[in-house]
Structures are given as C-alpha cells and as structure tokens.
Amino acid sequence: MPVPSSGLTFSSDDKTATVQVSNAPIIDQPRWPAMDAESTPAFLDFKLVFKATDEPVKYENAVQQYRFEGFKASAQLEATIRVPSIDFTFKTDPLEASKCDFAVMGNEVNGKYYEAAQGPL
Amino acid sequence: MGRKQNQISNLISNLELDRRRWLKLGVTSAVAASLPGMLLRAQAAPQACSAPIPQKHEPSNGGSCPYPIPWLDKNGNHNQIPMPNVELCSIYHFKGKLARCNGFHGMGTDNHGNRLAWGTPSTDYSYMAGEYWAARQVHQAVFAHT
C-alpha cells in the first residue's frame, strides 16, 4: 500500500525506522483463499518499529538480479483493526509487548538497477 | 422479521466463535494479514496507476503501478516467507531503503473484552522507500507491505 512520506521516519543515525499508517483500507475475508470467499471492508491502523543491530547481512542473487545489504534488526508492531459492518474491533497490546522472529533493514537494488549499482549500496 | 434477526444473531455468534477458534489456533496472520477465523487480507484500495488508454495514437507505456517481482505471486499471498537469501522486496526495478520482518506474535483485546493471541509465522510487514521504474520513467514513493 502507498504510504505518505510522513508515514515513514528514521532516527538521526538511520538505525531506527518507524512506519505509521492510519485507516488503511483492508478486507476481512474469513474463507480466503477459497475462490468464492466473500470479503468485508475493514480498516487498519498500525505502528511498526524496526531497530537495526550491528550484525551486517548481504543477500544477493545475480540470476534473479537483486542485492540487499543491511543489518539484522528487531521489529515490533501495534495495531488496531476495525470491521464496522459487524461492529468488531481488535487492538493489540502496546508495541513493546510484540515480538517477531526475523527482521532486517537496509538497502536494496533489483531489476534494471541491479547491474548499474556496483559497490556498497 | 424475527427469523431474520435470529439468522443474523446466529451469523454473528458463528463469526465470534470462528474468531476465537482461529485466534486460539494461532493461525492468524499478523494484524493486517489475518485475524481469527477471518483472514484480514491487507490490500490497498484500487489505485489510479493502471495503464491509461492513449488518445490520438500516442504511445502506450503502461501504468505507473510498481512492477511485481516476476517469479512471485503478484498478489503477494504467502508467496515467499521473508528469510535470509530470498528476494525481500515486493517491487521489481527498485532501488532504495527496505526493511522486512515476519513471525510476529503478541496479544490483544477485542471490543468485547476478549483477550486474543495474534500472529503467525507468515505475519510479515515491510517498507520500501525509494525509486522504482514503471511506465518507462522513474517514480519516487514509499510503500508498506502488510
């Protein structure tokens, strides 16, 4: 989903990134991935915070033409979902209470930019 | 009227049961991706970036929507769990800042006061901020994947 530039902010050292989105239109689709799964309009607010560690990572595949260079990271999320038509809302616990198993942050080049971008990103 | 109200009550009751069942099973994908018994497939509203129909025989260069990763599902439905040594970006012909994470787990509360778990191994989020190539020109944008 497109995010206004104000929705993504970085700390002064670029080691922390915060994504904040309000009222993103989503769908509530209980029977997905059934072909005839009905959907209901819903809305999502979320705040997502990445914090980079000092452990570098580099993932590159010349055949698939992508290169990612960055750092392992932590990520935490808090969110609220609203499904107005059935008067349902769900709010996660505060950001600090969430955990995730894998996170990285850095820079990527792929496709037509892959060959052109040699050296550190 | 009474019968219709009863049907709606049953439906809501079933939905609530489904929600709890799915949440307890922990099959819910992160907040955006899914919720108890109801997969909340995050999806942006239709965008005005589809290819315009050229007028007066002008060339057609396609739309300004970002180009999907060619070997992955355009709709991004569980196409590839983020992990080391896989393409983490959702946009092809992209250069810029990228972060991606998955495997969220946490707790939350619904509007009836029920405490529910959320998150699955496929609950993933990302941001992509930078330059992408579409419609034969450069675009600057910020996107999130939920």
Nearest CA-CA distance, residue B56 and chain A, Å: 30
Q: Which two structure tokens, joined as six digits, stand for B66?
A: 């970002």
The pLDDT tens digits of the residues spanning A52-94 come to 999 999 999 999 999 999 999 999 999 999 999 999 999 999 9
CB contact under 8 A, B85 and A59: yes
CA distance A46 to A56: 27
Q: Tell me the C-alpha to C-alpha distance, in Å, between residue A37 and each of A29, B33, B41, B51.
A: 7, 15, 12, 28
* A95 near B CB under 8 A: no
Domain limits for position A67: 5-30+39-116
Closest partner residue to B111 (CB to CB) among A25, A68, A88 is A88
CB contact under 8 A, B125 and A77: yes
More confident residue, B73 or B35: B73
Closest partner residue to B41 (CB to CB) among A27, A102, A109 is A27
What is the 3-class SS of A69-104, one letter each residue? Answer: EEEEEEEEEEEEEEEHHHCEEEEECCHHHCECCEEE
DSSP category for residue A2: B
> Would residue A100 count as lying in a domain?
yes
- Least trusted range by pLDDT, from A62-76, B22-36, B118-132: B22-36
The pLDDT tens digits of the residues spanning B65-115 come to 999 898 887 665 556 789 999 999 999 999 999 999 999 999 999 999 999
Q: Which two structure tokens, joined as six digits, stand for A1?
A: 């989903």
Closest partner residue to A93 (CB to CB) among B69, B94, B108 is B108
pLDDT at B38 over 90: no
More confident residue, A11 or B55: A11
> Would residue A121 count as lying in a domain?
no
pLDDT reported for residue A119 = 63
CA distance B28 to B127: 21
> Would residue A9 count as lying in a domain?
yes
ipTM score: 0.90
More confident residue, B122 or B125: B125
pTM for the model stands at 0.78
Q: Which of A5, A18, A98 to mutate to test the interface with B (most CBs of B within 10 A)?
A: A98
Model confidence at B10, in pLDDT bands (50, 70, 90)? very low
Task: Write out chain B residues lying below 8 Å of A2, CB-based.
Answer: 44, 47, 141-143
- Return contacts of B51-59, CB within 8 angstroms, 24+ apart: B51/B135
Number of folded domains in chain A?
Answer: 1
